[in-house]
Amino acid sequence: MRPSRPLAASLLASAVVGSLLLPGAGSSTAAPPAVPAAAAAAAPRAGADELPQGGRSRDRYAADITWTEHGIPHITADDFGGLGYGSGYAAAEMSACTLLDTLLTGRGERSRWLGPDAVYDDQVTLRATNLQVDTVVTDLRDRKVVEQLLADPVRGPGREARQMVQGYVAGINRWVRENEITDPACRDARYIDDDATPLDVWYGVYLANLLASTGVFMGSIADAAPPSPTDPGLPELPVRAADVDRDALLAGLGRDPERPFGSNATAVGAEATSTRSGMILGNPHFPWRGRYHFTQQHLTIPGEYDVAGASLVGSPVVNIGFNDRVAWSHTVSTAYRFTPYEYLTPVALSPTTYLTDAGPAELERREVEVVVRREDGTLETVTEDVYRTPEGYVIDAPDLLMPWGVASFWAIRDANGEHLRTIDTFLEMGKARDVEDLLRRQDRAGGMPWVNTTAADRDGNVLYADHSVVPHVTDEMAATCMTVVGRVLEQVAGLPGLDGTRAGSSCAWGADEDAARPGIFGPANLPDVVNRSWVHNANDSYWTPSYDDRLEGFDGIIGCEQCTRTMRTRMVAAYVGDRLAAGKKETPRSLAGHQHENRVMAAEVMRADGALDEVCEATGETEACAALAAWDGRSDRTSRGVHLFEAFVGNLPAPLPVVGLDPVWTVPFDPADPFGTPRGLNVDNPQVVQAMQAAIDQVRDAGVAFDARWGDLQVAGDRGAPPIGLGGGAADSVGNANALASYLPEENDDRYKPITYGSSHIQAIAFRRNGPPIARTILTYSQSEDPTSRFSADQTRLFGAEKWVRFAWTDSQIRRDRIAVTRLR
């Protein structure tokens, strides 16, 4: 039964059988679903009938969804298939366009429906044309990569994960059948249909696994071709480490310093809390739109499974969240998920012939057929090709020192391309009883793709661990296997480039007995710490999880040791460290309050001894300097002068390519004092004064007053967002823990800084010895991506006002906050 009117106040305590129409008044109708695309443009997809069609003939599911304030679904079912069913339905309700776009991408059909030349930008690491993406995805499907993993008892998913995915698909299909899409982004899309398969979702999950590895190289894989007289594949010189543009190389490897993909997480244990139990403040910095944005959900099988938190679009399980005994968050890890191999190609032989220690071998050339839509709407099949070695895809990336040249070429081996265990990993974490159990379950599942884990439990223990999927490349093996250019990659970016000649023998990835599978490090060779004080991570390496703990002796592919911490790391640590140093313990309210303190670490360091004001005065810009001197040193909405400081930091000179030489500071980084160095703004360096002048000119040229209120300049900028003023700001170099950034805003681009990235699903979870957890959450860009929904900006307004949602966890809390119920059968 489909309601013929929007959600109304009369539904506050009623049950609705079928679809809950959540958009705002006037946006929901009883019209039939969108008309499927014409049969001529929708030939059967490969693999569509190879797995059960969830919700069709062989599967039965049931779930109850209780919707609470802000459109948060609390899903109850008798089994994991039912949980997936409710999760898929709820995900489609809140993120239909992105969810269906994610399935479209996993099918390799972007070019068919959206044209081959349009650019697909996942807002994180993948930016390629639809044709490039489809070329790689179609080859994955032609080789049945996911199907083989599904059949693998070690590398493939378990029974409960499969049930969740099959139910998830059934829920998506039901929602599409029963609802009219009101989101302008896709309401007229011709690819909308209720024919999603579990395989579509699994390919979406698989592609998400590749975010920090193969996904970075989509264009370089799709366009890779043997050298020719007009394109000899010469690398961009020079190839000496000292002359390489480090920031450009990192950007090409998916680690763009200008677009850092990061997060903060702090866990505080019994020794430092007022409750004598664990607490956590987690704030992943993710895109406010697209494939990698979150929605909230609460999943319950009575007496068996109960977990709440946030899930990335396309994930039926909670990725970041809590249960009644443990809470966790994630931060992007510094470890690499892949290694490049360099293969020698004898000039006398074909450019597709390469050397191995067993003799010459021939590249595998694979032709890929992709259906593309031309501008006139006609469909055409084009043939592309990709090349592979046994280790993986060949790339052509001369700007990354890895061209396909006349003497050698490079291919990528991807550890996250060799498993399909991610859903299992998060599902198992939801069952954990304490932080050590959480880590055991994570290790046993073996599918944490590219993040650290920070956690706290009711017993008062806290955990930091980087037990993600990392290629088993020890420092000793790298030292004997790196090629000349591979060593440059390692010196500049920490990525060892290995000898492809020995890729199948002495330079093959190793194995640990305690690892979930061969080729990756086992838990004993990965960093972790459990204590009862506090731990944190803000995307620097594992080395300094607290003021007192040092994790050392691990292999370089995981991250660096005795290396500089960002200003954001120093700020996140200082919130807890300063409070404890003052003799105070963290309370549930104080830990949550750190989210909106909006201290700016770089300003605190640079203002020591009046240095920042002295630099400004050297410019002679009295009006700007008065505004900067009067600035309160925070990035609150009411602060004035934040924009001047952000512009100043953005114009500062980069460190020189000499260890320990940084023109900005008088006291360089000292490994013995990682949270206190570098420091001392170098007032005598003319480059520092020039950076201040450039910042003043930048603000003046933008037509912005020097003393403008920050909340008038920094506003929400995601699709459909009103110009809601926001606190927080630039992250790593400036030192905001409440990190916000602007990348290609879709709304309010007339404002100085419209936000599309940063603080996302924030949770402050506090356990007590008895009673339910105290759960404060906020989804900064709100639950629904549909601008016509009343849940598209409500939490954004709360975030701007520095308020929280008191998440309904217990049955009584859910009844209190209930706005409607959907029963799915």
Calculate the dihedral angle through the C-alpha atoms of 808, 811, 817, 818, rounding to the nearest 10 degrees: 130
Tokens, residue 559:
């991250």
The CA distance from 138 to 305, in Å, is 37
Compute the Cα dihedral for 575, 578, 581, 585 and give only its sign.
negative
- Least Cα distance to 606 among 537, 664, 566 occurs for 664
Within 8 A by CB and 6+ apart from 672, the residues are none
Closest CA to 757 of 723, 718, 710: 718
Strand duo 740-741 + 753-755: pairing: unpaired
Nearest residue to 707 via CA among 644, 633, 647: 644
* HSE, side-chain direction, 13 A CA sphere, residue 155: 19
Longest distance between any two alpha carbons in the chain, whole Å: 80
Tokens 């690892």, residue? 515
CA distance 790 to 768: 34
For residue 377, count CB atoms less than 10 angstroms from its CB and return exposed for 0-12, middle for 13-18, buried for 19 or more: exposed
Residue 357 φ/ψ, nearest 5 degrees:
-75, -5
675 with 547: CB under 8 angstroms? yes
Pairing of strands 753-755, 757-759: unpaired
| Rounded to 5°, angle at Cα 452 from 450 and 458 | 140
The answer to whether 439 touches 465, Cβ cutoff 8 Å, is: yes
| Token pair for 346 | 């004898």
CA distance 71 to 643: 34
d(CA 356, CA 345): 10
Inter-residue contact 136 to 218 (CB < 8 Å): yes
How would you class 316 by CB atoms within 10 Å of its CB: exposed for 0-12, middle for 13-18, buried for 19 or more?
buried
Residue 263 annotated as catalytic: yes
Query: Rounded to 5 degrees, what are φ and ψ at 73?
Result: -90, 130
| 239/401 Cα distance (integer angstroms) | 7
Structure tokens at 716: 């929400």
List beta partners, residue 824: 63
The Cα–Cα gap between 512 and 522 comes to: 5
Of these residues, 28, 213, 263, 784, which one is catalytic? 263
Question: Counting runs of H as helices and runs of E as strands, what totals does the chain give?
Answer: 22, 33
| Residue 43 Cα distances to 40, 111, 288, angstroms | 7, 14, 34
Question: For residue 86, with 0-12 CB atoms within 10 Å meaning exposed, 13-18 middle and 19 or more buried, which class applies?
Answer: buried
Where does residue 381 rank: exposed (0-12), middle (13-18), buried (19+ CB within 10 A)? exposed
Helices (H), 496-593: 567-581, 588-593
Separation of alpha carbons 440 and 458, rounded Å: 17
DSSP assigned state of 35? P
User: What CA–CA distance (Å, rounded) separates 733 from 759?
Assistant: 16
Q: What are the Cα distances from residue 156, in Å, to 166, 215, 424, 606, 820?
A: 15, 20, 9, 51, 37
According to DSSP, the residues that pair with 397 across neighbouring strands are: 402
Active site residues per annotation = 263
